[in-house]
């Protein structure tokens, strides 16, 4: 390979690396007008409300908490609403989730991502 071909190849590689590094993320909007990036942002910012968060927000929060199969557990969280505001440990949710034998670690992760 000639020196000029090597320079061209290196320039192409450098350009590809630069373009890859410059990609941006874009928010998608659901049919309900909710930004999917805002669901992820709220989950990453902290806990979400088990009473008022939508399914996407709960799923994102559970995913951040390391819950396996967060979609399924988000639906279960929503099924047993409402939760008492003074039930800060989400004891009623823990009792309802126990019906599915998820394991203590899974229940702890789920509850760690939520507030009443």
pLDDT category, 18, cuts 50, 70, 90? very low
pLDDT value of residue 47: 94
Task: For 46-81, write each residue's pLDDT tens digit.
Answer: 799 999 999 999 999 999 999 999 999 999 999 999
Is 95 in contact with 110 (CB distance < 8 Å)?
no
pLDDT value of residue 115: 96
Query: Residue 19: pLDDT above 60?
Result: no
More confident residue, 23 or 2: 2
Domain extents in the chain: 35-115
Is 108 in contact with 68 (CB distance < 8 Å)?
no
Task: For 97-107, write each residue's pLDDT tens digit.
Answer: 999 999 999 99
What are the structure tokens assigned to 88, written together? 């800060």
pLDDT value of residue 35: 45
């Amino acid at each position: 390979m000639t020196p000029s071909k090597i320079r061209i190849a290196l320039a192409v590689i450098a350009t590809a690396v630069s373009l890859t590094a410059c990609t941006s993320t874009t928010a998608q909007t659901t049919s309900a007008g909710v930004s999917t990036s805002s669901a992820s942002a709220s989950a990453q910012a902290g806990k979400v409300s088990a009473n008022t968060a939508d399914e996407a927000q709960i799923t994102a929060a559970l995913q951040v908490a390391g819950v396996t199969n967060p979609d399924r557990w988000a639906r279960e969280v929503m099924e047993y609403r409402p939760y008492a505001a003074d039930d800060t440990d989400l004891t009623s949710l823990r009792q309802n989730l126990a019906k599915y034998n998820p394991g203590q670690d899974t229940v702890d992760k789920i509850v760690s991502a939520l507030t009443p």
